[in-house]
Amino acid sequence: MIVVLNARFETKVRVECEPDTTIKQLKEKAKIETGTPCEKMKIRKWWTTLDDNKTLRYYRIRDGDGLDLYTYN
């Protein structure tokens, strides 16, 4: 499945993963695309910051869903 991470400045990062992928693993894959360290990423769905230890299935994220990717210093 493909998850789309919407970063700042209209940048979209498409990440291929499985429903049992954890948020931490998703960040690792996004790190390859963005070059941003995982420790400096927050992934949010609506107003909820997603926990690194939970899976995409837990949050009911499906193929083609978009999540917000926030980075900070």
Residue 58 in tokens: 């837990």
What pLDDT does 8 receive? 74
Angstrom distance (rounded) from CA 22 to CA 19: 8
Q: Residue 73 pLDDT > 80, yes or no?
A: no
What pLDDT does 46 receive? 87
What pLDDT does 34 receive? 84
Angstrom distance (rounded) from CA 35 to CA 53: 21
> What pTM value is reported for the model?
0.87
At 22-58, the pLDDT tens digits run 999 999 999 988 888 999 999 999 889 999 999 999 9
